[in-house]
Amino acid sequence: MPVYFESHTITEKMSPVFERRIVNLDKLMMVVCDFTNGPASEPDKPHSHPHEQISYVAEGELYFFLDDEKFHLHKGDLFTVPPDVPHCIQNISGFVRLIDCFSPVREDFLKK
Structural domains in the chain plus CATH codes:
12-107 (2.60.120.10)
Q: For residue 112, what pLDDT is reported?
A: 60
Tens-place pLDDT, residues 50-70: 999 999 999 999 999 999 999
Tens-place pLDDT, residues 56-107: 999 999 999 999 999 999 999 999 999 999 999 999 999 999 999 999 999 9
Mark residue 6 as left, alpha or beta (left: phi above 0; alpha: psi -120 to 50; beta: remaining).
alpha
| Cis peptide preceding 104, ω within 30 of 0 | yes
Sheet containing 52-59, strands listed edge to edge, beginning at the edge strand earlier in sequence: 12-15, 18-24, 29-35, 96-103, 52-59, 78-81
pLDDT band, residue 111 (cuts 50/70/90) = confident
What is the C-alpha to C-alpha distance for residues 78 and 98, in angstroms, rounded to an integer?
9
